[in-house]
Chain A
Amino acid sequence: MGLTTGLFWLAVAVIVGLAAGWIFRAAVVAASPRPIARELRTAPLTASFGMLVILIYILLAVFAPLVAPFPETEVVGTEYQPWDDVHLLGTDNLGRDMLSRLIYAARNTVGIAFITTALAFTLGVMTGLLAASVGGWVDQVLSRVVDVLMAIPALIFALLLLTIVGTSIVNMILVIALIDSTRVFRLARAVAMNIVVMDYVEAARLRGEGLLRLNIREILPNAMAPLVAEFGLRFCFVFLMISALSFLGLGIQPPTADWGSMVKDNATLISFGDITPLLPAGAIALLTVCVNFVVDWQLHRASGLKE
């Protein structure tokens, strides 16, 4: 395939994506009640495309058993079967249907990554804002604890903790969330430090607002933009971390499908010019781009920028 053909298909993909975004936005605007519709109409095409793709991923994940043509872990053919009518994307290194595993993996990988990131942010932002708004010894204790946790390299620390508490999906979520929340804590604290000294926070303190209300109503909304941007990035890092842990045998265990290990299992096909093993990687990349599209839109909305 020459460069011009490649560019042509790229252009077609972009146009189809934007058109899908436009149709999706129109449909959602028509279907939702008035206040939500007004917000949604301002969404740029990239953001509506992002929301469309995320919605598709969620639907696939929820209805995986109905959509997937074959069960997740059953061997249904010979190894490395090429694409055909029965197995639309061929079979993997053990003869399991590639398309079905791709769909089931959306459930495991995306679900786990999202829960982990959300947990890490809840924990990190809460402690970060607390440290910045209370200050004094609370700040010192929290910051030094985070220093200690961060001084140990993330992957090694994750391996250590998983060895101690035992390998299971719940434990993995908690461990990665704990490690990532230290990074979020640093950022949230740095952003909040600048906001705590503002006059309106002092005014809120003088009116007698409690610590919780002060943090949630005054500081958090103004710290939102950098945190939202960080959320988009953290999500990708969590993906990588889960893949790395799965690779080392401590993450999602083998019979369960996840995109990271699917790439690893079928990597040998790449040297034969087959793009099948790249599909899970492409699924990760597409989701990442779409999450960042939506995050960008939210960022613009949060900042109140007009153009």
Chain B
Amino acid sequence: MMRMTRAAIINLLASPYIEMAQLKGMNPMRVIVKHALPNALAPIINVIALNLAYLITGVVVVEVVFVYPGLGQLMVDSVAARDMPVVQGVALVFAAAYVFLNLAADVLATLSNPRLVHGR
């Protein structure tokens, strides 16, 4: 995520408007936060959404190893007990998390760019 943010920001730092902001005498932190970051948000939001979704579904191993009573542990226990409805329910929650986070990322990425909000 850090590398992605870095790449997205570096890509913008050569743009003329960044140079303009620097020549105005803005301090570098403000240039990056106010001028570069809003234009770099779309890929960053998507990578964050991917990582969040991975954290929700990917903790199964961690929860089982550390016996933490979470969704992953519940799923593994239900699989061991052949409790089909619970397995299906947990799988549904995991799948819904991915779809919902993807949707949220799309909406936020659209909101971050006025040109996309006010389409022609």
Contacts and interface: CB of A to CB of B under 8 A. Distances in A.
22 contacts: A146-B102, A152-B95, A153-B58, A153-B94, A186-B46, A186-B49, A187-B47, A191-B42, A193-B109, A193-B116, A194-B109, A194-B113, A194-B116, A197-B115, A197-B116, A225-B8, A226-B8, A229-B8, A230-B7, A232-B3, A299-B7, A300-B10
B46 A229 contact: no
Interface of chain B, helix or strand or loop or mixed? Answer: helix
Interface residues of B, number: 35
B48 to A, nearest CB: 11
A268 interface: no
A143 B110 CA distance: 15
A150 interface: yes
Given A147-B98, A197-B115, A303-B11, A229 B6 contact: yes
Interface of A: 143, 146-147, 150-153, 183, 186-187, 190-191, 193-194, 197-198, 225-226, 228-230, 232-233, 292, 299-300, 302-306
Interface of B: 3-4, 6-8, 10-14, 39, 42-43, 45-47, 49-50, 53, 57-58, 60, 94-96, 98-99, 102, 105-106, 109-110, 113, 115-116
Contacts of B113: 193-194, 197
Contact of A193 (B39, B42, B47, B60): B42
A299 B10 CA distance: 8
Nearest to A300: B10
A190 B98 contact: no
A198 B53 CA distance: 30
B3 A151 contact: no
B44 to A, nearest CB: 9
A151 B4 contact: no
